[in-house]
Amino acid sequence: MVGAEPRSRLLGPLGHTLWLRLRAMLSRRRATFFIAKFNRPDMAVLRELCESGKIRPVVDERYDLSQIGDALRSMGEGHVQGKLVVTL
């Protein structure tokens, strides 16, 4: 579940999904959920975009493996704006 907030310890991000679905049922809005299916042509387009520099991942911060505690703490506090990279 990419990008969903964990609303509860019991349900994790699934609680957020269920809440959105319920709200959609009670209003005129629609909620659609999907699972991405990877295929070669789409992956080739993504590879070309990455290699050309048209898209690139956002790396918030890099940590050594010895700093894994700091990385997890930063993530848990909600300060991360991109991806965290841990190097071995």
The answer to whether 66 and 87 are in contact (CB under 8 A) is no
Rg (alpha carbons) of the chain, rounded to whole number: 18
- What pTM did the predictor assign? 0.43
Q: What is the pLDDT along the chain (88 residues), one digit of tens a residue?
A: 455 556 666 667 677 778 888 888 888 887 777 777 889 999 999 899 999 999 888 888 899 999 999 988 888 887 777 788 899 8
Q: Which amino acid is at 84?
A: L
What pLDDT does 65 receive? 93
Phi and psi torsions of 63, nearest 5°: -130, 145
Alpha-carbon distance of 24 to 19, in angstroms, equals 9
Q: Which amino acid is at 5?
A: E
What pLDDT does 9 receive? 67
Q: Is the dihedral of CA 17, 14, 56, 80 positive or negative?
A: positive
